[in-house]
Amino acid sequence: MRIAFRDGCRAQRDALRAYVDGDASGIERLAFERHAEDCAACAAAWRSAQALDRELHRIDHAEPDADFEQRVATAVRARLDALASSAAPATIVLDPATRFSSRRCAAAAALVVAAVLCGWFAANLAHDVAPSPILSSTAPGFGTSAQVPAPDDLVDPVRLAETKAEFTRVLLDCARSSTPLSTFRAESATLRKNGWPVETLLVAAIEDPNDDVARAAIGLAAESRCDLARPALLRADRRPRLRVDATRALGVVADAPVVALLERRLDDPAAWAAALDALESCPRRDALAALESAARDTSHMERAAEARLALARRGPPGARALLALAADGDGDAARVLGDSRVVDAAVVLDLLRVSRDAELARVALETLPDAAALTLIAQHHDAMQDAFGTDAFRRDVDARLQRCFELHDLVRGALRDAPTSAPAWVDLLARHPSAGASTLDAVLADATLALEVRVRAAVALATIDRLDPRVAFDTAVVALPLDLDAAATLLCCAVRAGMAESDVPGLDPKRTRDSFRSARATADRWRADGRPPESWERARIAQKLANARL
Amino acid sequence: MTRTDRMTTDEDAPLVARARAGDRAAFDALVIRHARCVARLARRVVGNAEDAEDVVQETFVRVFQHLQNFRGRSSFRTWSMHIALNLAHDRLRTRRRTPSPRDLAAGIAPLDSLAPDHAANGRDDRAALERAVADLPPRQRLTLLMKVVDGLTHVDIAKVLGTTESAARVYLSMARSTLRRRLASWFARDRRNT
């Protein structure tokens, strides 16, 4: 919107902004309102701003339902209860001020655990609830904590027990029938709607002594990335039968300390593999560092090899770590990179453009197959030459072109599928004539390719003096109506080689001869002067030749 | 400090003090008082009501855990909202996705609630405005909505976003000018109607 403000009301723009935002003082508001009475532009701007604010209120109206606050308060209270109860032993053990001896610490911890267990049993017996796997082992904190008794209106023990039993039933049903946990999520949504803290129930289920219940709960915690489950997962990690699942889940939960787990798993292949799996999917940056560290660990060669494979499976971030290893001379890392094909053009370009790490980019380029590398080089030749250095890059490209058996098919396929890539490919081949000239010949001879592409190939060959004069002449004639400059170049090539007297089929002989004579004279003058033909001169000749044809 | 901010701080201060002393009822009252405002902010970031509710719960858990660190330099509400904003961003990062404009537009009022004089062009206008708001850079969008819909001051917005007051003013100004540019025809029609 462009409003035509009067000269005198430029100063009112700030006032308008302050007025609309409610920041204007009383005097400023009065001054603006008086001004707006006289100034249509300011009044219109004011109305528009008000209308926009009204509409913003409408589109952002979505308010939570009426019992939202109560629901949140209930859930927060339950979670705080759970945290308060589960955090108590850790506080005692970790508090440096107490300076307990290890024996005293152990005794204190045992007392706390015993007290907590007594509390659970007492609570469960007092509530006279049918025994359930979850109830018999649940962590305190479902509103029955002795430290912070929850009011009855917030947590009803009977309802809570029923909810836990229902929770366990659905969890096990899902696990046993291998049902996707969508069913479970639907149930969870209902529970949450009713104010029950699903995460807390889940944490309790993870610590259930029944391995099936615990395993199903661990799976759900991983799938739902339940951060609250982290302490319970760490405890489950100490149970041998749950170790693999717990480790994998810890890797999924975002801030799990799986990195530290990896080092403790060297003696247990299954658990180490699980930790490795966990690290593969762990989004944290230090997970990547842990994998890289394991891959560098030469004291455990097999584990290092597995870590390299795990890095390769992590995609581009892992590829970068492997590239760093390969750049340090790790041949296995280079081999893994080559086999896994995890490095692609995007990785190389990312290293060049974003990281500006030419050394890693060079290693990455080396791991690419010839076809992919040449395609990338054709598209970004100049940038790569700048990054890698002219001589080394030239040698590398020459070598690739020489050894690439499928070069003809590659280039012809690329030109057929994407004619717009023709300039890049033709330039690349012309820059490396020892390996590229034969492919340019093949392109020129391939009648299935677009004429523009073939003409470009012919011009490139003419530029490097690899074009047969007769072919140059024929191509020039074909190219005349298409590209005068290219035709002129090709005709010059033919003229220099003494092809001027040839007949051009389908053209007026006299006019063609005159034009060719003129072209020859110009070419002679160029030779005598010893200077290359300027493009405008070539264009002029081509124009004459085109006129001759017409 | 604005009058509203002072009022909020004054009203919250006794409850905060009681909550800090372990009074859960006082903390419940704080939750009930500010949950809706925090939820609106969370929904704007995460894009849907369910995730927003999770963020709100997590926010108040964190608030309670760190209540001892609350110095009262800002209002309790802006402090909670700042925590909620960080948690909402964490959640987005965890899920590795950003809410689509459709997510952001979730829960929008039905079209028949529009005023009759706007009904003819209401659908297009609404969609255009939703799109334009959703396309704003996140900080500009949050600033605009916190200012216009929640009525926060520039100082409050700056504290929620963890930036300066002048930066908040700039965000708001840029958001408004971007919307004006993208909704030029809408403004023009509005001017004609008035």
The residue from A463, A478, A509 where one domain ends is A463
A509 or A327: which leads in pLDDT: A327
What's the CA gap between A544 and A547, in Å, rounded?
5
Domain boundaries, chain B: 1-98, 116-194
Whether residue A311 is contained in a domain is answered as: no
Give the B window 141-160 contacts with A, CB below 8 Å: 144-145, 147-149, 151, 154
Instruction: Quote the mean pLDDT of chain B.
Output: 75
Q: Are A79 and A209 in a shared domain?
A: yes
Q: Chain B partners of A25 at a C-beta cutoff of 8 Å?
A: none
Q: Are A209 and A181 in a shared domain?
A: yes
Whether residue A195 is contained in a domain is answered as: yes
Q: Worst-scoring range by mean pLDDT, A62-66, A219-223, A379-383?
A: A62-66
B101 or B169: which leads in pLDDT: B169
Whether residue A313 is contained in a domain is answered as: no
Distance linking the first and last C-alpha atoms of chain B? 37
Q: Chain A partners of B114 at a C-beta cutoff of 8 Å?
A: 58
What's the CA gap between A228 and A81, in Å, rounded?
13
Query: Does residue B132 surpass a pLDDT of 50?
Result: yes
Q: What is the pLDDT of residues A404-452, one digit of tens each?
A: 888 888 888 888 888 888 888 988 998 888 888 888 988 888 888 888 8
Q: Are A187 and A85 in a shared domain?
A: yes
Query: Does residue A97 surpass a pLDDT of 50?
Result: no
What's the CA gap between A437 and A81, in Å, rounded?
78
Q: Are A153 and A213 in a shared domain?
A: yes
What is the model's pLDDT at position B1? 41
**C-alpha dist (Å) from residue B174 to A188, A232, B2, B154, B168:** 42, 47, 23, 14, 10
Q: Are A505 and A533 in a shared domain?
A: yes
Would you call B1 an interface residue with chain A, using a CB distance cutoff of 8 Å?
A: no
**Spacing of C-alpha B122 from chain mean position:** 24
Q: Which of A170-179, A229-238, A509-518, B57-66 has the highest mean pLDDT?
A: B57-66
Q: Which of A89-98, A247-256, A379-388 has the highest mean pLDDT?
A: A379-388
Q: What is the pLDDT of residues A469-481, one digit of tens each?
A: 788 878 877 776 6
Q: Are A186 and A76 in a shared domain?
A: yes
Whether residue A138 is contained in a domain is answered as: yes
Give the B window 40-79 contacts with A, CB below 8 Å: 40, 43-44, 49-50, 53, 56-58, 60-61, 64-65
Query: Does residue B5 surpass a pLDDT of 50?
Result: no
A270 or A65: which leads in pLDDT: A65
What's the CA gap between B158 and B136, in Å, rounded?
18
**What's the average model confidence in pLDDT over B133-158?**
85
What is the model's pLDDT at position A466? 85
**What's the average model confidence in pLDDT over A283-311?**
76
Q: What CATH class has B1-98?
A: mainly alpha
Shortest distance, CA B158 to any CA of chain A (angstroms): 15
Mutate to test the interface with A, among B43, B148, B180 (most CBs of A within 10 A): B148
Whether residue A143 is contained in a domain is answered as: yes
Q: What CATH class has B116-194?
A: mainly alpha
Whether residue A403 is contained in a domain is answered as: yes
**C-alpha dist (Å) from residue A266 to A297, A301, A404, B160:** 12, 12, 43, 46
Q: Are A422 and A484 in a shared domain?
A: no
Count interface pairs A-B at CB distance under 8 A. 126
What's the CA gap between A238 and A235, in Å, rounded?
6
Q: Are A155 and A209 in a shared domain?
A: yes
Query: Which pair of structure tokens corresponds to residue B188?
Result: 């023009």
Query: Does residue A196 surpass a pLDDT of 60?
Result: no
Decide if A157 contacts A144 (C-beta within 8 A). yes
Q: Worst-scoring range by mean pLDDT, A4-18, A85-99, A209-223, B41-55?
A: A85-99
What's the CA gap between A129 and A89, in Å, rounded?
27
Whether residue A234 is contained in a domain is answered as: no
Q: Worst-scoring range by mean pLDDT, A10-19, A229-238, A325-334, A508-517?
A: A508-517
Q: Are A94 and A210 in a shared domain?
A: yes
Domains in chain A, number: 4
Q: Are A107 and A195 in a shared domain?
A: yes
The residue from A442, A463, A484 where one domain ends is A463
Closest CA to A223 of A258, A184, A195, A262: A184
Q: Chain B partners of A149 at a C-beta cutoff of 8 Å?
A: none
Expressed as residue numbers, the domain containing A454 is: 374-463
Q: Which run of H or E residues covers position B95?
A: helix B76-95
Whether residue A351 is contained in a domain is answered as: no
Q: Does the model's ipTM exceed the 0.85 cut?
A: no
Closest CA to B32 of B17, B15, B52, B18: B15
Q: Are A88 and A185 in a shared domain?
A: yes
A2 or A175: which leads in pLDDT: A175
The residue from A182, A208, A224 where one domain ends is A224
Contact (CB<8Å) B191/A47: yes
Q: Are A522 and A399 in a shared domain?
A: no
